Chain A
Amino acid sequence: MSEQPIAMTATDRFALGVARILVFLRWPVVLLGIASVVAAGYGGQFLSFSNNYRYFFAPENPQYKAFTELQNVYSKRDNLVFVLRPKDGNVFTRETLTAVRWLTDEGWKLPFVMRADSVTNYQHTQAEGDDLSVADLVKDPSALDQAGLERVRAIAINEPLLKDRIVAPDGHATGVVLTMVMPDKSPIEASTAMAATRAVVDRFRTQFPGIEIRLTGSVALSNAFSEATQADITTLVPLMYLVVALTSLVLLRSLGAMFCVMIVLTMATVAAMGLAGWLGMTLTPPSALSPVIILTLAIAESVHVIHNFLHELRGGRTRFEAVIESTRVNFGAITLTSVTNAIGFLSLNAADAPPFRDLGNIVSLGVLTTWVYALLFLPALLAILPIGKRGNVVSDEGGGFMRFLANFVIKLRIPLAVTLSALTIWLGMQIPKIELNDQFVNWFDRSIEFRRDTDFMIEHLTGIYTVDYSIKAGESNGITNPAFLNKVEDFANWARQQPNVLHVFTLTDIMKRLNKNLNADDPAFYKVPDDRQLAAQYLLLYELSLPLGLDLNDTINVDKSATRVIVTLKGVVSAVDTRAFKAKADAWIAANIPSSAGVEGASPAIMFSFIAQRNIDANLFGTGWAMIAISFFLIVPFRSLRLGLISMIPNFVPIIMTFGVWYFLVGRLGMASSIVTATSLGIVVDSTIHLLSKYIRGRRELQLSPEDAVRYSFSTVGPALWILTAALLLGFLVLSLSPFEVNRAMGLLTAICIAFAIIADFFLLPPLLMFVDRRNRDRAAVPAPAE
């Protein structure tokens, strides 16, 4: 990469000055560099792992707002569900019911638990003479004889409040549901609750070996996010270091140089994560990828500096001269690629989900720290360490192949341009066929316990996707109005007939049962009471009979003007089907219960089913902004509107091709898709910048023809770009090993995009440049920059 010192730009002269100062002050610079990493890295202790699935939703997210409002009216609840499956296949034995009773009692004592529901403490009501008996369905399991067990079974599997929710219809499995209210005072509440609950699970397994027990629920979901985050950090970061070490060794062929790369990368990453800690950021699975992405991006910058340094040193320059020259030639390009990388990641601030904003901001900090340590610290370090040997060799790494490649592209430029354009258009046509779908259960692979246990619950007991409705009566104490209760009953019955619906929890099932009980258990009265006062007084009687924690405060609001209906969907429902159910149910309520018009279904499942679309919409803005900003950095430094705009083409093409190929590979896309465009744009534009800057240098300073300028650009930066692309590719492929689907998809999509980008840069960009320049052949070369 021999530069022509005669044709120095203002940037070159500035860089030269900086480089000389760095060499002169090498010891203070190195010490300052280390001190700054210690100071910034100290903030790392303030980084915490978010422990709450709600962190994926910004306060202004409408689905989140609806859910928060619902929780404020009833109560903010989280839950944990023990799923029990006796190996003898029957829940209704003395042994299993004893185990359920034990678990229910232990559950009450766990942190944050406000309520425990099971088949044993289910408040069974029946007529007792002229009175209403309200009592635990199973008080003392050991006292039950066969007839008693049969009776309990018959009640449980026929009770709409229990069947498909607490008891499997075939009696093979049952659940104990703990309702928790998290105080939101500490970020580790979910982990605390989870650890205490897992200890109970362990005791259960020892005491009741004949019963399989699993644990899921919203607290387990929150905890799974933190476990996936930690898995990412502890497995992906070391793997990434391995990739970094191998790449730098292959590229630089020096252990000492590899050591330098590792030092700079570690400093940049530690400083960036430390700064994130100082800024009070919280890590979630997406933002936990930051260190890996920072390492990936930083390797290119530091390898460029060391590569040029070794090249100059081997070419016969002194250590100090080599440092100064390497800094000078890299200063402008690295600054420019840092800016475009930062633009891509900063545009994630448009994202709807805060974890993506954090990811964007932490990586941008990493881009900044990389710039500082690769361009300021590294030259000073190279001036001190005895790395590389001064020689008299002008190496020609991969030069032969690059010449061949350049000639190939020049010769076949028209077929290449046509083929690649046609391929892009064809792949682009596949994109609309991709199904947008996020299923938060499937975000975790089966290496995460939450996923395995949730799958188990779905298979044996009930669903995890619920949709809650707070149905309004429109007047104070209106919920006992028979007309309203019948509407609620109609809604529940309508919902039960919908595909994908497994269970509906509704107050009307309680009212119907009370009406029957208070009429001597006459089945003819198993209907909503037809008198408003009567219904209200039944309810008062029932409420006065319920023990602590088993009240109706989660089902009826304080004003008794609204009641909560909880619809549980079957299995793992697609986001499309969840949204479809919500839309239909919202419309049903608006049409049939005017007092409740405008009430929307709300729940974590609803929030997650909208998350992909919301983030895609939000990121369209971010991506557009990034595109404009990045075009600006292709146009202004190279002082050519035409070449700058043409150079955007090989950056759009890979993105289109990536999504097109994704349709054939996977066919389904979630939240990851929303951020990939912006981030990969910032990354892939680097190669374009390097190629274009050499092309323009060839045209303007060396007065080469377009063809020779292509040959010049290929041979100067070609080999480094191919190897660095391999490093980026490997880095993002490392991400695809995450147990978290959003991260896997993002890693894989970005890796594919990087692969297509190098193809577009080498096979599409040169034909385009030659074509555009050819049209201006008469105007001689591109105008030389005015100095």
Chain B
Amino acid sequence: MQKTIAAALLALALPALAHAETPEQKGLAIAVESQKRNTGWVDSKVDAKMILENKQGEKSERNMRLRALEVVSDTDGDKSLTYFLSPADVQGTALLSFTHFKTPDDQWLFLPALKRVKRIASANKSGSFVGSEFAFEDLLAQEVERFTYKYLREEPCPTDEAKGLVCFVSERFPAYENSGYTRQVSWVDKKDYQVRKLEFFDRKAEHSKTLLFTGYRQYQGKFWRSHTLVMENHQTGKKTTLSLGNFELNAKVDQTEFDPDALARLR
């Protein structure tokens, strides 16, 4: 995190040097500011519902309870715990993830039917998450260190909700291994520094998916959270809507739950 702080200090000093700023520096500065405004939430609880939809219009739902622990470090990202509520057959299954910026993530899955915790020994952030259009990497916290940046331009924000706001448009390039993307383009509003839209470009550098963030609400007078994330896959015509509700920040979650050995006790 020290690097981040250094970058943040640099960013604060930047307005004076605005004209000398390279697109890379400006892109980084925007990401640093975004992160600065989202630091200090400590931990969170939220209910998540995923609605998967295919081209034929068939829908399917997955319900989860998510808990996250803010990690301030320059090597590791946040810790997260996903507890599946439905479909019924996987109820009670829990996925624990410790994310890292440079090394593969650590993941464990508790299978209640087997009453065992299985380590997921893979570097597969890029794969589809529970059959949805979200890859695991799309659901991770947007820590500055995960990408390198390049500012492109300013333009009106793309979502209805952010109409009237101006957005920074920047490219970002995954700095971690095994990403499914060559780059992403982000729209971050100038007022609150929240992501409004992300475009994903696959290994062939083709625009494959678009993610829209809407339903922003502010918590504790500081932290903005989007409540509806719609991911559209342009190549397959499939769509996944992620709805979040009952946000609690600084929720005093039990930190001992974030332990592979404790997964089996989770309810």
Q: Distance (Å) between the CB of B184 and the closest chain A CB?
A: 14
A540 touches B90 (CB 8 A): yes
Chain B nearest Cβ from A71, distance in angstroms: 8
* Structural contact, B127 and A548, CB atoms closer than 8 A: yes
Contact check, B236 vs A181: say whether CB atoms are below 8 A apart.
yes
Contact indicator B122/A547 (Cβ below 8 Å): yes
Q: Are B60 and A546 in contact (CB under 8 A)?
A: no
Encode A523-534 as 1/0 by CB contact (under 8 A) with B: 000000001111
Q: What B residues does A73 contact at CB under 8 A?
A: 54-56, 58
Interface residues of A in 106-130 (CB under 8 A from B): 108-114, 128, 130
Return B9 CB to nearest CB of chain A, in Å: 37
Tell whether, in the assembled complex, residue B54 and residue A547 are in contact, meaning their CB atoms are under 8 Å apart.
no
> Which of B84, B124, B129, B130 touches A547 (beta carbons < 8 Å)?
B124
**CB distance B112 to A533 under 8 Å?**
yes
Q: Enumerate chain B residues within 8 angstroms of A133, measured Cβ to Cβ.
A: 121
Question: Which segment, of A261-269, A557-565, A678-686, faces chain B?
Answer: A557-565
Residues of A within 8 A of B90 (CB): 533, 536-537, 540
* B60 adjacent to A560 (CB under 8 Å): yes
Residue pair A534, B124 in contact (C-beta under 8 Å): no
Looking at A113, A130, A131, A135, which has the most chain B CB atoms within 10 Å of its CB? Answer: A131
Q: Does A72 belong to the interface (CB within 8 Å)?
A: yes
B204 touches A131 (CB 8 A): no
Interface bits A128-166 vs B (CB < 8 Å: 1, else 0): 101111110000000000000000000000000000000
A536-B89, A559-B60 in contact; A544/B120 too (CB < 8 A)?
yes
> At the interface, yes or no: B109 with Cβ under 8 Å from chain A?
yes
- Given the known A-B contacts A108-B203, A547-B126, A548-B135, are A476 and B60 also in contact in the complex, defined by CB atoms under 8 Å? yes
Q: Does A76 contact B (CB under 8 A)?
A: yes
Residues in chain B near residue A108, CB distance under 8 A: 203-204
Say yes or no for B52: interface residue by CB 8 A criterion. yes
Q: Which residues on B sit within 8 Å (CB–CB) of A547?
A: 122-124, 126-127, 178
Judging by beta carbons under 8 Å apart, are A480 and B55 in contact? Answer: no
A307 to B161, CA, bound (A): 78
Select from chain A the residue with minimum beta-carbon distance to B56: A72
Query: For B222, what are the chain A residues with a Cβ–Cβ distance below 8 Å?
Result: none
Indicate if B59 sits at the interface (CB-CB under 8 A). Answer: yes
Residues of A within 8 A of B111 (CB): 534, 537-538, 540-541
CB distance from B105 to the nearest CB of A (A): 11
Name the one of B56, B118, B206, B237 contacting A131, with C-beta atoms under 8 angstroms. Answer: B118
How many residues of chain A get a CB closer than 8 Å to chain B's CBs? Answer: 53
Are B131 and A75 in contact (CB-based, < 8 A)? Answer: no
Pair B122/A135 contact, Cβ less than 8 Å: yes
- Alpha-carbon distance between A61 and B145 when the two chains are bound, in angstroms: 54
A526 to B180 CA separation, bound complex (whole angstroms): 33
Pick the contact of B52: A130, A181, A534, A558 (CB < 8 A): A558
From A133, which residue of chain B is reached at the shortest CB distance?
B121
CA–CA, A598 to B219, complex, Å?
53
CB distance from B47 to the nearest CB of A (A): 19
A69-B56, A73-B54 given; A543·B89 CB < 8 A: no
Do residues A541 and B204 form an inter-chain contact, with CB atoms below 8 A? no
Bound-complex Cα distance A128 to B93 (A): 21
Q: Cβ of B238: which chain A residues have Cβ within 8 Å of it?
A: 75, 553, 558
Q: Considering the chains assembled together, what is the distance between the CA atoms of A132 and B116 in angstroms? A: 12
Q: Provide the residues of chain A in CB contact with B58, threshold 8 Å.
A: 73, 557-559
List of A residues within 8 angstroms of B116 by Cβ: 130
Contacts of B235 in A (CB 8 A): 112, 114, 181, 183
A130, A477, A550: which has the most chain B beta carbons within 10 Å? A477
Residue of A nearest to B181 (CB): A548
- Segment 46-67 of B: residues with Cβ below 8 Å from A: 52-56, 58-60
Across the interface, A545 reaches (CB within 8 A) one of B93, B112, B127, namely B127
Expressed in whole angstroms, the minimum distance between the Cβ of B94 and any Cβ of chain A is 11
Given contacts A534-B114, A551-B127, A551-B128, contact A113 B204 (CB under 8 A): yes
B112-153 vs A, Cβ < 8 Å mask (1 yes, 0 no)? 111010111111101111110001100000000000000000
In the assembled complex, the CB of A561 is this many whole angstroms from the nearest CB of chain B, namely 8
* CB-based contact A540/B130 at 8 Å: yes
CB-defined contacts of B53 to chain A, threshold 8 Å: 558
Q: A544-B95, A545-B124, A560-B87 are in contact. Are A132 and B118 (CB under 8 A)?
A: yes
Q: Contacting B54 at CB < 8 Å: which of A112, A545, A552, A558? A: A558
Contact A537 B114 (CB under 8 A): yes
- Whole-angstrom CA separation of A317 from B129 in the bound complex: 89
Cβ of A195 to closest chain B Cβ, rounded Å: 15
Q: How far is the CB of A371 from chain B (nearest CB, A)?
A: 47
Judge whether B131 and A131 touch: CB under 8 Å.
no
Among residues of B, the one whose C-beta sits closest to the C-beta of A551 is B128
Q: Are B93 and A540 in contact (CB under 8 A)?
A: yes
Given contacts A111-B204, A132-B118, contact A556 B131 (CB under 8 A): yes
Query: Is there an interface contact between B60 and A543, defined as CB atoms closer than 8 Å?
Result: no
Choose from A75, A532, A540, A544 the contact partner of B107 (Cβ within 8 Å).
Answer: A544
Contact flag A110-B204 (CB < 8 Å), given A533-B113, A547-B178:
yes
Report the nearest A residue to B91, measured CB to CB.
Answer: A533
Residues of chain B lying within 8 A (CB to CB) of residue A541 = 109, 111, 118, 120
**How far does the alpha carbon of A547 sit from the alpha carbon of B124 in the complex, in Å?**
5
Inter-subunit contact B131/A552 (CB<8 Å): yes
The one of B88, B126, B128, B178 in contact with A553, judged by C-beta atoms closer than 8 angstroms, is: B128
In angstroms, how far is the closest chain B Cβ from the Cβ of A543? 7
Q: Contact: B52 with A543, CB < 8 Å?
A: no
- In the bound complex, residues from chain A placing their C-beta under 8 Å from that of B54 are 72-74, 557-558
Q: Given known contacts A181-B236, A556-B131, A560-B131, is B124 in contact with A533 (CB within 8 Å)?
A: no
A518 within 8 A of B: yes
Cross-interface CB contact of B131 among A538, A543, A550, cutoff 8 Å: A543
Specify which chain B residues have a CB less than 8 angstroms from the CB of A556 in the assembled complex: 131
- Is B121 within 8 A of A477, CB to CB? no
Bound-state Cα–Cα, A548 to B89, Å: 25
Partner of B129, one of A476, A544, A552, A558: A544
Q: Are B89 and A477 in contact (CB under 8 A)?
A: yes
| A558–B53 CA distance with the chains assembled, in angstroms | 7
CB distance from A140 to the nearest CB of B (A): 14
A552 — which chain B residues lie within 8 A by C-beta? 131
B114 touches which of A113, A518, A550 (Cβ 8 Å): A518
Is the Cβ of B89 less than 8 Å from the Cβ of A134?
A: no
Identity of the chain B residue whose Cβ is nearest the Cβ of A477 in the assembled complex? B87
Q: Please, how many angstroms separate the alpha-carbon atoms of A683 and B5 in the complex?
A: 86
Contact across chains for B131 and A531 when beta carbons are under 8 A apart:
no
Cβ distance A475 to chain B, nearest Cβ, rounded Å: 11
A544 and B113 contacting across the interface, CB-CB below 8 Å: no
Question: Chain B residue with minimal CB distance to A113?
Answer: B204
Give min CB distance, B131 to chain A, whole Å: 6
Q: Are B236 and A114 in contact (CB under 8 A)?
A: yes
Judge whether A537 and B93 touch: CB under 8 Å: yes
Q: Contact flags (1/0) for A469-500 with B, using CB distance below 8 Å?
A: 00000001100100000000000000000000
Determine if B127 and A550 form an interchain contact, defined as CB atoms under 8 angstroms apart: yes
State which of B120, B131, B203, B206 has its C-beta within 8 Å of the C-beta of A558.
B131
Q: How far is the CB of B108 from chain A (nearest CB, A)?
A: 9
Residue among B56, B130, B180, B238 with the highest chain A CB neighbour number at 10 A: B56
The chain A residue with its CB closest to the CB of B51 is A558
Q: Is the CB of B88 within 8 A of A477?
A: yes
Q: In whole angstroms, how far apart are the Cα atoms of A181 and B124 in the complex? A: 22
B135 proximity list for chain A (CB < 8 A): 548
Query: What 5 new A-B contacts, CB under 8 Å, besides A545-B120, A558-B238?
Result: A74-B54, A114-B236, A533-B90, A540-B130, A558-B54
Name 18 interchain pairs, CB-CB below 8 A, sorted by A: A72-B56, A73-B55, A73-B58, A75-B236, A108-B204, A132-B120, A133-B121, A476-B60, A477-B87, A477-B89, A533-B112, A540-B130, A544-B107, A545-B120, A548-B135, A549-B180, A551-B128, A558-B53
Leading 5 A-B pairs by shortest Cβ distance: A536-B89, A548-B126, A72-B56, A548-B180, A533-B113
Chain B: residues with CB nearer than 8 A to chain A? Answer: 52-56, 58-60, 84, 87-90, 93, 95, 107, 109, 111-114, 116, 118-124, 126-131, 135-136, 178, 180, 203-204, 206, 234-238
